[in-house]
Each structure stands twice: as C-alpha cells, then as structure tokens.
Structure 1
Amino acid sequence: MTLFSIASRHLVRNAGKFTSCSAAASRRALATSAFPAPRLFDYETVTSNLSVADAIESVEAAFGALAKGEVDVPMPMHIGIHETASAGPGDCHIKGGYVSGTKTFTVKLACVSFYKNLEKNLPAGSGVFIVVDAVTGAPLAVFQENRFMTDLRTGAAGAVSLKYTTRPDDYLTIGFIGCGAIARNMARAAKAVRPNFRGVAYGLAGADEFAADMSGELGLDFQVARCSAELCGMSNVIFTQTPGGNTVLELNDLRPGTTIIASGSDQPTKQEIPVDVLKASKYISDLTKQTSKVGELRSALKEGVMTESDVYAELGELVNGKPGRQGDELIVVDLTGTGAQDAAIGQVAWDKLSAL
C-alpha cells in the first residue's frame, strides 16, 4: 500500500470528524458575532444624567459586601508614562470588581496627571468604564466618563465615611483642603448625608471660586481659610483631596474629635497625612490590602510607627455595624478607591442610562 493510499483512506475515514469540527467552529464564530456591540455613552450624556447622589446608596452597599468577602476586587494595575520627548508625563490606573449577586461587573481605565494637556486646553485626566454582563461576559457599554464617574464614586465614599464617623446631631464645620473636582463632589456628598454644615476651603489655587460656587449650589455658608492651620482650627471634619505629593496638615493644629477623610493618595509616591497623625488616630481603610501599598497607611508602615494590626476597621465593617465614632477620638479614613466602588457606579450608570 502506497503512502498516498494510506493518506487517502485516513482522510475518508475522518471526513465526518473534520466536517463536524468545522461546523462547530462556525457555530462558535456565529455565536460570538451574535453579541451586540457595546453601547457608547459619550461624556455629555454621562455628565448630564448622573450625580453623586445616585452613587451613595450603591457604594455604601458595595463597601458592606466588600467587608463580607462578597466582592472580587483585584489590586489596581498602574502604568507609569514617564516624560520623554514623545510622551507623558502621566499615569494610568486600571481597576475593576464584581459585587456578588449583581447583574454586571466593571473594568475601569483612568488616565491622570497628564499635565501637559493643559497647554493644549485639554483636561489632565480622562477615562472609560466598561460595564459587562455578568451572565454572558459580553460588554454592555463603554462610558466615556473622563474621571467624572470616578469622582462621583469617590464622593460617594466620602459620604459613607462621613455618615459613619460623625453623629447625626453634630453641627459640623467641614474643611476642604484641595479645591478641585473631587472636593466639589465631596461637598455635594456631604450635603446628602449631613444637610446642614458650614464649609471652609483652603487650596493653593481655586479656593475662592470653590467656596463661592459651593455656597451658591448647596445653599450653605462657605468661607476661605488663609492656611491649613487656620482651616484645621475651625473644622471638626476635614476632607483632603490634593495631588498628594506633600503632607497638608499637622497634628498640633487639629481639634479633639476631628474626622479626616483623605482621598489624595492612590500610589506609592503620594502622602497627604503625616505619620504622627496616622499613629494617633483610629485608622479606617477602604481596603487595607490597598492602603498598605498605595494609601496613607503605606507611609506609616514604612516608618515603623504602625502595623496592619493597628487598623481599626475597613469602611465596610462600619457599614455592617462596627461602631464608628465613639467619643472625641481622632479618626482618619484612608480612601484609595476600590474596584467595588467602580462596580457599584458602573451598575448604577447602566441601570439609569440604558433606558435612554
């Protein structure tokens, strides 16, 4: 028997198998192509239909689920774009998460600190949320949010922090160190959970505009402090949301019973809060495995003044019933931003905008 005849018999014998495999491959290709293209929601649609108030309830629930181990949230991925003749400087953060039992999961790409954009009249940050069907794994939508949804979910985390570390009947003077977009969402979020407060603003730029705008929008009294020490002396809650390159307050300037909600540190090069303040505080993280690497806790661990056993709680534990404020203790809440928050605001955005 020749080699040709052997090969011919082998081909005839397996022809049905080849046909079957080919048909299966075709069916798989057809099924894959049957997924509809994800919907694209542009920036104008996103910003005109979502507010920080939309996010608070879902973010609070997500923190509670996170503390129970019911959220799959990997460590953030960071891509550093070093400044060269052809690129940068800038940073890219990739976060995501899935809250057990929800209909979608979210992956977010956030680009920040592209400061050369300002010379081109472009913002220094941009980004997209990709919301995915948790049943089929097919992307449902791409939200061109350019940090807007990120700032909303950060503001919502600030609201949750404020709710569980202050008493409802306290009259609050809330200080804002750093007066950019995140500070505005923190102020709006604070209004949602503690409707009556007095605001104080301090920043290297924009404090006067921030105070005037927030006073007009929220119908509350806002004033401008001359320095961080003056703001600390007036405030029993302080939100810090600066680029995080330098510490922004001092322990000796703080009033007894102050709550600090810090959201500026989200990578190892940043630090807003001095380590002696962290050491003296009832320290609460949004997610300890993150804050120990990229948050304020990282610096205290590095200096040897704290260990992870000094963490009083994660924020979700307070949501689930662990006591928050119990007296005149100093409290620091360290917000680095979690994939649980991104999953929460992604679900909210899909639920609200998919009906448009």
Structure 2
Amino acid sequence: MRSEATLLMIDRDAVNALLDPADVTAAVREAFLLHGRREGRVFPVVREKLATGGIFGIKSGDVPSKGLLGFKAAGFWPDNRQRGGEPHQATILLFDPATGRPLCVIDGNAITTVRTGAAGGLGLRTLARPDSSRVTVFGAGVQAASQLRFALRTLRRLETVHYVSVNRDTDAAFESLFRAQCDIRCAHDANAAVAESDVIITATPGGGPLFDASAIRPGTHLNCVGADTAGKRELPAGVLERARVIADDREQALQLGELQWSRDTPVIELGQLLLGNSPFERGDGDITVFDMTGLALQDLTVARLVYARAQALHLGTRVAWPW
C-alpha cells in the first residue's frame, strides 16, 4: 500500500558493520565492467565551491538492467577538523527506477572510503608490477589508510612502506594501523622516497605537486586519488607525458582528475582493460598512472550491497514515507 511505504535509513555504524573488503572489491569491479560495457550510465558531475569554504558535489547514474538508480551528494569541508568532525561528508540515496520513490538513505562516508580503496586495489592488481615490494603513500588520513590497506591485500610482496604526511612529521596513529603488516616509516624527503619505490599512492587534498617528476624511476606505478575537482593536482608537470595513463572515466578525468593538466595524453579506461577490450601489456620500464576520480556506479553497486544486507539483517531505521 502506498500509504504504508517506508524509507530505510542506514547510519554510519550500520554501514561499517556491513562492509567486507572482498565483497566491496567485487562490487566495485562490477561497476567498472558495467561502465566498460556502457550498461551503466554516469550522469554529468556537479562539483561546486561554496561560500563557506566547502566543496559540494553530486555523482549520479543508473543501471537499467540491474534496477539501480541513485546519487551521492558529497564534498569536502576543511573547517570540520576544527569542529572535531570529518572533512569529507557524503550521503547516498537509492531510488526505485520504476516509480522514483526513495528506497534508502545511506551514510556515504564509509562507502566512499572503502570503495575508493577497493578501486585502488583493482588498479594495482591490473597495472602494478606483481613483484612490487616498496610503496610511498602521500597522505596519512582516512583515504591514505584505505588505499594502503587494499595495497597490502593486493600486492603480496609489499613489505616496505614510506609515507609522507602533510607536515612531513611522523604520524604515530597512522603507523600503528600497519606496523604489524609491514615496515612502515615516515619519509622526510619525498623525492628520495619516490625514487626508491615501485608504487606511489597520492591521497591528499590535491593542493599541488607532491614531488619532482625526475624522482620517478622506470617501472613505477602511481595510483592518484586526490585530484577530484577542477584546479586540483598532485602530480608534477611532465609525469603524464612519460606514462601510460588509465582512468576510471576518461571524460571525468579530463574535467576533474590529473588529466585536466595534460588533456592530449592518450588514456584507456580501466573497465576496458578488465573486459579485455583494450590490449595492454606492461613493459618492465613502463611508468603507469591510474587517474582515479571516482565513479557514481561504484557508489551504486556498493550501496546496493549495503541495502540488501541491511534488509536481510534487519539493520537500520525505517520511517514512514507515504505517497
């Protein structure tokens, strides 16, 4: 009955309890395959700076064959740190595509963190050298930690981790998360750390180049996360021109990602690689870059997973939503 319709609200704690890294990876891989086959649509991204100093964005899309329709409203409010809160804020809504009725409202912060880490892991599995043993991570925040967790799950020979914090100082809390899994230490010289690494992960707010282009040696793979808005970048000039570049979505990366700074660079989408539609063989000396701007379809496939599990386990809060 329409008068008895309800809306399911799934908060942060429930979402965290429902996210399994392997299952999230499978859902994110599905999103890349759907995008590669163009079975799922990615609608134009909204990304706007606010007078408050925040950035507000909307990523939306649908997958008709899967009955998926929804969006994520998200952004970055740096002043939240002074309030004791998380700067990244995200909320996901799923809809019934037949009626337009909202099905659920889901806290999107945890989903964004884990699905981005899973996408990074898929990039490493597909593009990095399998014998990679040394990584440098730029950033020591929530997303840097997620990227490193999935890197350690994906690259089994990874044993040495250098990280570069915003202030170049040791971050004991960040180190404690990984000390049992690897040899982790703060890198005070970013260029030296890059030169010694097989993999570079950049997960910062994207305020500017993080190291010198000359520091990258042949054979290095880079996962680039922080450039997700026009004007942001983490890579220095000259890197993309030397690299084989892969993006989650070409047009989105040209607008928001590292590719906005080198628009004529040839690019392949990861979904095409996973489908086997684009021949790709990594040479030992190739530099590869995964330009990650985040797909709406990733949010939708992971949100669908959370929604189904919450229903099965009777988690979340239902509120009356008659129509």
- TM-score, normalised to structure 1's length? 0.81
**Partners of 1:135 and 1:193 in 2: CA distance:** 39
Indicate the residue corresponding to 1:328 in structure 2. Answer: 285
Unaligned runs of 5+ in 1: 1-30, 83-87, 302-306
The answer as to 2:145 corresponding to 1:184 is yes
> What is the distance in 2 between the residues matched to 1:163 and 1:100?
29
Post-superposition offset of 1:211? 2.4
1:316 is the counterpart of 2:255: no
Cα distance in structure 2, aligned partners of 1:171 and 1:270: 28
Which structure is higher in RCO with an 8 Å CA cutoff and minimum separation 6? 2
Q: Which has the larger radius of gyration?
A: 1
Query: Which residue does the alignment assign to 1:79?
Result: 48
Matching residue of 1:48 = 17
Return 152-161 or 48-57, whichever deviates more: 48-57
1:245-304 deviation per Cα after TM superposition (whole angstroms, max 9, x unaligned)? 111122211121000110101111201112300111101111111111111111113xxx
Q: Provide Cα deviations, 1:19-53, integer angstroms capped at 9, x if missing partner.
A: xxxxxxxxxxxx6545x221001111112321443
1:353 aligns with 2:314: no
Structure-2 separation of matches of 1:49 and 1:252: 43
CA shift digits 1:302-334 (9 cap, x unpaired): xxxxx1xx3231111111123252331111110
Is the CA contact 2:115–2:299 (under 8 Å) kept in the aligned structure 1?
yes
Distance change in 2, residues 1:128/1:79 (3 Å):
same
1:96 to 35, 57, 60: 60
Q: Does the 8 A contact of 2:250 with 2:267 survive in 1?
A: no
Aligned AA (1:313): I
Question: What amino acid does structure 2 have at the position aligned with 1:106?
Answer: G
Opposite residue 273 of structure 2, the aligned amino acid is L
Given candidates 133, 140, 147, the residue that maps to 2:103 is 140
Aligned to 1:9: none
Please state whether the residue corresponding to 1:38 is helix, strand or coil.
strand
Residue correspondences, number: 308
Structure 1 residue 135: Cα displacement: 4.4
Q: Does 1:125 align with 2:88?
A: yes
Aligned position for 2:316: none
| Matched AA of 2:229 | Q
Tell me the distance in 2 between the aligned counterparts of 1:135 and 1:207: 49
Instruction: Provide, for residues 134-157 of structure 1, a one-character-per-residue CA deviation record: whole Å limited to 9, x for no partner.
Output: 444322211123x22111111111
Which structure shows the bigger proportion of residues in helix conformation? 1
Alignment map for 1:216-295 (pairs within 5 Å): 216=180, 219-295=181-257
Q: Percent identity?
A: 27
Output aligned runs, 1:160-179, within 5 Å: 160-168=122-130, 170-179=131-140
CA distance in 2, matches of 1:160, 1:190: 9
Q: Is the 8 A contact 1:106 1:343 kept in 2?
A: yes
Q: 1:62 maps to which residue?
A: 31
- 2:296 pairs, out of 339, 342, 345, with 339
Q: Distance in 1 between matches of 2:196 and 2:35?
A: 34
- Quick check: 2:28–2:119 contact (8 Å CA) kept in 1? yes
Runs (4+) of structure 1 exceeding 6 A deviation are none
2:110 & 2:49 partners in 1: Cα distance? Answer: 21
Distance 2:146 2:229 in 1: 21
**Higher mean Cα deviation, 171-180 or 207-216?**
207-216
- 2:10 is matched by which residue type in structure 1? F
Alpha-carbon shift at residue 107 of structure 1 (Å): 0.9
Normalised TM-score (structure 2): 0.89
User: How far apart are the structure 2 equivalents of 1:97 and 1:195?
Assistant: 34
**Is the CA contact 1:52–1:185 (under 8 Å) kept in the aligned structure 2?**
no
Shift of 1:345: 1.3
User: Paired residue for 2:320?
Assistant: none
What secondary structure sits across from 2:260 in the alignment? helix
Q: Partners in 2 of 1:293 and 1:320 — Cα distance? A: 25
Deviates more, 1:290-299 or 1:47-56: 47-56
**Relative to structure 1, is the Cα distance of residues 94 and 312 closer, same or farther in structure 2, using a 3 angstrom cutoff?**
closer
User: Do the aligned partners of 1:175 and 1:200 also contact (CA within 8 Å) in 2?
Assistant: yes
